[in-house]
Chain A
Amino acid sequence: MSLLDTLLVMLRVSFGVFVPLCFIAVLVWMERRGAAFFQDRAGPNRANIFGFRAAGLVQNLADAAKLIFKEDVVPGHIKHKYYFILAPVIVFFTAVVSFAVVPFADTLVLGDRSYVMQAIPTDIGILWFLALAGFAVYGIILAGWSSTNKYGMLGGLRAAAQVISYEIPMGLALVSLLVVYGTVDLSEMARFQGQLLFGFIPMWGVILQPLGVIIFVIAAFAETNRTPFDLAEGESEIVAGFHVEYSAMKFAIFFMGEYVAMFTSSAIIVTLYFGSYQIPWLATDTLIAYAKPGAVLLMIGLPVIAYFFIGWMRHSNVSHYARPNDPRKREVTVYTKIVWGLVIVMEIALLVVLFSASGGVLAHIFVAELQIATFLLKTTLMCFVYVWVRWTLPRFRYDQLQKLGWQTLLPLSLLNILVTSAIVISVS
């Protein structure tokens, strides 16, 4: 194992661990500011460090500091303290680990060696995700049971019933997808989606499986216990559901686990149905061959994007009340400098790519970075859809939830398998 191998293993593992963790902060911020904008409010915009509010991101730091220093209460009536503490750990751990098989770039070729860009380079792919996503609900059930609280118990039971109902349509939607792709390996699936249908449509899962994507997304919402399927914590009926008895950091771990699960399932949806890291019409080989024109385009595009972003920032980051020498304007001048600094650093990096040997190592790395950026952008957009749905749809009633799962999604997914199989057989 050479030094490069070790370095790349470390890089991939740290990507698989730290990206979901970083996305917790981004997603909590997106949820709160997004919710506010959906409802014509402002959201958290006061917390600051020396006047720098980072659009409200500093609020997360304040919340985290508060939750860490709060007293960690384990109520006296809890008999099984071990399971009580184990429950949030299961939820969080499974959510983080299930991201490990998601490919975030095409196989990186450096010299004569190639590296599969997954945290765990394995080919079990979607099976790993299904196993761990199903296991996450054990944490919720365990939390509900070990709380020795009727609300917690009801929340846990609801979660259990819901996951059982929705694993089936989810699994069946996947079956028809596997019929199309012919593999369970997520890297293979991502590579498959780089092809073109009839020579001009990107062969994304959403185009091959329009019904399957709807079923899978609905089931994924239910799996992550997000609105409109968050009956497990229906605060109007059962206070907070499975986490009533949890406080301080134990609650925070549940909370973070929920957001990591949302990130992971977004990543899975993107990988399965929205072309993973593929940029439409630009497959990996094309990108490597045309790395230099791509770099030139980016060099032109980045300052333009930065210019419009700064214009928007200047326009919106002002105090909306009379205030002598508005500190938010000073804040914006600093942000402007940071943005231009970043642009300059990226331009230099692109220049290096431009003057390197064509088709060389740097071109491969450049393409991998481009694909990682694409993947993260798509995942962020999918996470936004989660937030968007949460602040649009009201919660389902329990019987409606079960009816939708068993009487609508299950027959539809069976029909989908039938139609897909028929088409695949007739085409091949």
Chain B
Amino acid sequence: MAAKTKIIKRRGESLPEKVYLIEVFKGMGVTLGHFLRNLRDNSRLYVRHYPEQKPEITPRWRGRHRLTTYEDGSIKCVACFMCQTACPSRCIMIEAGERLDGREEKMPVRFDIDLLECIYCGYCVEACPKDAIRMDTGIFSVVDHNRESMMIGLEELAATPGAFSEEEYTKGGI
């Protein structure tokens, strides 16, 4: 079976192309066309007026992390250290403690993520056996005035709601 081949003509060999100046003027014509079109009507610029117009975020998009909870508000995390082990930038710091509500054996007493270290690769989400950590908050702009406040803890992670419904998030299988 002969593969379909497409022969692409090599450009730049003919005399008018070698003179170069003609091609320069053609190119300048193209750019001037864009310039004049935008000068006449600037409503068709390919820009998003960012702070006012937010980008659309899909459920697959990896934003800031959160820790999921059961319906009664207790945390799903079992402090198995899978995410901390998988993390390539070592930004997760977990301290495990005993769980007293009888649901599991362990729970984290400290769960810190250094957002300045995090590279948002999503390995922690993949590693988690309990679906306890997710990156579905839709928060993409993480800024603050000092380094200390970029370290977020257990309460803040658990308090952040997801930006998508369960059907949307699990569509196509976890």
Residues of A participating in the B interface, judged by any CB pair closer than 8 Å: 34, 36-42, 214, 312, 315-316, 319-321, 323, 388-389, 391-393
Contact = CB atoms under 8 A, between A and B. Distances in A.
B38 A391 contact: no
A393 B35 contact: no
B34 A321 contact: no
Given A214-B21, A321-B53, A392-B28, A37 B39 contact: yes
Interface string B38-60: 11111111110100110000000
B31 A42 contact: no
Given A37-B35, A37-B39, A40-B38, A319 B49 contact: yes
Given A41-B47, A392-B31, A393-B27, 9 more contacts: A37-B38, A37-B42, A38-B31, A312-B40, A319-B49, A320-B45, A321-B53, A392-B24, A393-B24
B35 A38 contact: yes
Q: How big is the B interface, by class?
A: 20 to 34
A382 B39 CA distance: 18
A37 B34 CA distance: 7
B31 A320 contact: no
Contacts of A319: 49, 52
Contact of A320 (B30, B34, B43): B43
Contacts of A40: 34, 38, 44-47
A149 B24 CA distance: 35
Most buried by A among B34, B35, B52: B35
The prevalent SS among residues of B at the interface is helix
Contacts of A321: 49, 52-53
Contacts of B40: 312
Contacts of A391: 31
A289 to B, nearest CB: 38
A392 B31 CA distance: 6
A388 B41 contact: no
B38 to A, nearest CB: 4
B42 A316 contact: yes
A321 B30 CA distance: 29
A273 B34 CA distance: 28
26 contacts: A34-B35, A37-B35, A37-B38, A37-B42, A38-B31, A38-B35, A39-B34, A40-B38, A40-B47, A41-B47, A42-B45, A312-B40, A315-B41, A316-B42, A320-B42, A320-B43, A320-B45, A321-B53, A388-B31, A388-B32, A391-B31, A392-B24, A392-B28, A392-B31, A393-B24, A393-B27
